[in-house]
Chain A
Amino acid sequence: MRIAVLSGKGGTGKTLLSVNLAAAAKESVYVDCDVEEPNGHLYFKPLIITVEKVHVPLPVVDPGKCTGCGKCVDFCQFHALAHTGKSLIIFEDICHSCGGCLLVCPENALTEKDKEVGQVTLGISEQVTVLSGEMNIGEASGIPLIHKLLENATTYKNYTFVDCPPGSACIVMESIQDADYCLLVAEPTIFGAHNLAMVADLVSLFSIPFGVVLNKDLPGENPSEAYCKEKGFPILARIPFDQKLGEINAQGKILVREDSKWEKIFSHILDTIHREVKHETIAHSKR
């Protein structure tokens, strides 16, 4: 069962929720897909078992074979190739490694080379398997790392929590692609509600069942709650706005491993999610 945790807005509580749910689930997998700024490992402090380098293929031109026909230039939707009339220029930072230019080249003038873009690690923290990725400095896209992380995660059959990057761009779409269920974390601000709406649109587009967890929950006005009620989104749980929670979290500690009170709260959230996910995925598969 793969559950993706996303929020749109950063700092809403994706990592807080996914780390604590994974810890509450005991035997589980935590995948940190926020490869631009991974921080789940700061909580789990995992014992690293393996480190794997991730490479992407990039086209290389043989100038002796290239006739300047421009077929590859026309083909590339990202405009990673240009022909000056004298030579082919390849913009490596723009290339998405699709390999299409090699296929359309009538002269077989293009080959591929590997470029390292980052690494993924596998570690253990108590019973939680921690998968984490880190991009090399200066890399433009974290998507190859997310691919690798999620591919590695498929070997596990137990609860898998995918801590998504913020936003609703390609990198988030990659992260939620094979999720059975999406948890949307929202905070009680207008900005939070706006970004909740964006990710709700996104997961709807992917037809993935989802529910909302209201974080930093306070009595009084909550634009995110109001939005859920207006749209009929299920609110699965509320994490209270709590100074003690903030203190434990800011020390890089996992709430459920520090205090039985929090263990109860997150186990309860996990149970609720478990029921909802079972219900939704069965209902969903019948659609």
Chain B
Amino acid sequence: MKIALPVTENHSGGNVCPSFGRAPYYLFYDPDLEQENYLENPAANSPGGAGIQAAQFLVNQKATVVLTPRLGENAAQVLKGAALLIYQTNSESIQESILAFQENRLNPLDEIHPGFHNHGEK
């Protein structure tokens, strides 16, 4: 199992990032090996399609579970297409979010927002 979370810093001192596609970093956590890996989100400064690009990054990194406070519909389509499990976090704390997932306290994320596309012009 490989858990991915959008996070604000590239170390354990950060928080869960409220944005999925434009989070500066992702934490990839392997609970079996208790291994943490912080990677830069290649989509963080993308001019458009950030959610899709970020979701593709998670798929390429072979994540199997995504813990995120929210998710846009395009990103959700990619993640669901790759059969990732998506759960909604309700805490800013990374440690608490992972613990809550492991204790089955998180709900599957079913509230997908329509995204923030086209707020500028293409």
Task: Report which A residues bind B (CB closer than 8 A).
Answer: 70, 73, 78-80, 82-87, 89, 91, 93-94, 96, 140-141, 143, 167, 169-171
Contact B81 A96 (CB under 8 A): no
**Which residue in chain A gives the minimum CB-CB distance to B49?**
A79
Chain B residues with Cβ below 8 Å from A78 are 48-49
Contact A96 B122 (CB under 8 A): yes
Task: Report which B residues bind A (CB closer than 8 A).
Answer: 43, 46, 48-50, 52-53, 55-56, 59-60, 74, 77-78, 81-83, 117-118, 120-122
* Bound: A85/B56 CA distance, A: 10
Contact A170 B81 (CB under 8 A): no
Chain A, interface SS category? loop
Contact A94 B52 (CB under 8 A): yes
8 nearest CB pairs, A to B: A79-B49, A84-B81, A84-B82, A169-B121, A79-B53, A82-B78, A79-B52, A82-B56
Contact A91 B122 (CB under 8 A): no
Contact B81 A169 (CB under 8 A): no
* Bound: A86/B80 CA distance, A: 11
Chain A residues with Cβ below 8 Å from B43 are 79
Shortest CB-to-CB span from A206 to chain B, Å, is 17
* Bound: A93/B118 CA distance, A: 10
Shortest CB-to-CB span from A92 to chain B, Å, is 11
Chain A residues with Cβ below 8 Å from B48 are 78-79, 94
Chain B residues with Cβ below 8 Å from A141 are 121-122
Shortest CB-to-CB span from A134 to chain B, Å, is 17
Contact B52 A85 (CB under 8 A): no
Contact B46 A89 (CB under 8 A): no
Contact B122 A140 (CB under 8 A): yes
Chain B residues with Cβ below 8 Å from A93 are 117
Shortest CB-to-CB span from B69 to chain A, Å, is 22
Chain A residues with Cβ below 8 Å from B121 are 141, 167, 169-171
* Bound: A89/B117 CA distance, A: 17
Shortest CB-to-CB span from A155 to chain B, Å, is 28
Chain A residues with Cβ below 8 Å from B117 are 93-94, 140
